[in-house]
Amino acid sequence: MIYLIGNPTRDTISARNAVVETFGGTVWYAALLMVRLLQPVAVVGCGDSEIKRRLAQQGVVVRYFSDKGPVTHFENIYASGKRRQYAWSGRSLHVSDMPPEAFEAPAILAGPVLQEIDPAILTTRRKGRVLLDAQGFLRGLTGENLVIQRMGSNAKTAIRHCDILKVDAQEARNLTSTGDIDTALQRMYRMGPKMTIITQGAKGARLYDGARFIQLTAPKVSVVDTTGAGDVFAAAFLVRYLECSDAITAGRFAVAAAALSTRGFGATALPSGSEIDQMVEKHFLDPGTVTVRNHDSHRI
């Protein structure tokens, strides 16, 4: 069983005189993908009865999910090629919300959306690995509930106590004060994780494990909606890494999964394991799709 920590969200998207209501959040996309990969998964979070029912219908364990409390809500307004994002926080998650068996599990995926995870959860002694998708620790709100990029006070504690850190390129820049990908990976690695990952959208992803920089190109697909692609990457990477403990194998699987997830809106295009494996076999036949460079700059 993999345990996911974080609050699913209710999202409102306003664009071109249309308003769409949907669900979102790292744990939402990660849980639904893991179910498709036949991976047992439980969610520790807070939402409403509808979110809980939808997760349960898909086979997610929700006995540790609370529907008693405020729901995290994001509103995305698109106009003139720009996005304004507003948010309202849900309930915070603490060690007391965690079942003891979560700390005995092979893995935890921590996916905060708005600083709702108490970093004490990550500092608690555990047996398994923790993958942290840090985006929620790098968000803040203005007095008008406008979402801004701002590293919360708990971010460094959470990062120091995770095993695998995953962020996107903009989050890496905000976290490390550099736009150079390799420098950012190393700076994040020195914060404490054993592996750092920067997702790069259509360019793929770049990983660093303390000895090697690994670049994985993304397969080309007809993109409809990129929402949740980073969350899919994190979930797919963790599932495959638990199976093989190989960063390249897990990275190829995750890059393919994330690309395939953009073929439709929201969670409608989440791929199956066989679809991902087929894409991996097809795309990564070309040796140029994976490049590995030692830390000492000697190419291998």
Domain with residue 89: its CATH number is: 3.40.1190.20
Whether 181 maps to a domain, the answer reads no
Does 8 share its domain with 131?
Answer: yes
Res. 78 pLDDT band, cuts 50 70 90: confident
Instruction: Report how many domains make up the chain.
Output: 2
Does 155 share its domain with 204?
Answer: no
Does 10 share its domain with 146?
Answer: yes
User: What's the whole-number average pLDDT of the chain?
Assistant: 93
Does 142 share its domain with 84?
Answer: yes
Domain end among 110, 145, 162: 162
Whether 127 maps to a domain, the answer reads yes
Arithmetic mean of pLDDT, 8-27: 87
Whether 79 maps to a domain, the answer reads yes
| pLDDT above 50 for 228 | yes
Which residues constitute the domain of residue 8? 1-162
More confident of the two residues 79 and 9:
9
pLDDT for the residue 296: 65
| pLDDT above 70 for 149 | yes
The H or E element that residue 149 is part of is: strand 147-149
| pLDDT above 50 for 298 | no
Whether 172 maps to a domain, the answer reads no
Does 153 share its domain with 203?
Answer: no
Arithmetic mean of pLDDT, 71-82: 86
Cα separations in angstroms, 214 against 71, 135, 175, 257: 38, 22, 20, 18
Structure tokens at 247: 């960063």
Does 78 share its domain with 19?
Answer: yes
Cα separations in angstroms, 50 against 13, 34, 54, 55: 19, 20, 6, 9
Domain end among 162, 188, 219: 162
pLDDT tens, position by position, 155-181? 999 999 999 999 999 999 999 999 999
Res. 82 pLDDT band, cuts 50 70 90: confident
Does 207 share its domain with 158?
Answer: no
Arithmetic mean of pLDDT, 141-151: 90
Q: Is 48 helix (H, G, I), strand (E, B) or coil?
A: coil
Res. 300 pLDDT band, cuts 50 70 90: very low
Res. 299 pLDDT band, cuts 50 70 90: very low
Does 155 share its domain with 251?
Answer: no
Does 144 share its domain with 255?
Answer: no
Arithmetic mean of pLDDT, 274-279: 96
Arithmetic mean of pLDDT, 255-277: 91
pLDDT for the residue 131: 98
Does 247 share its domain with 295?
Answer: yes
The H or E element that residue 259 is part of is: helix 247-260
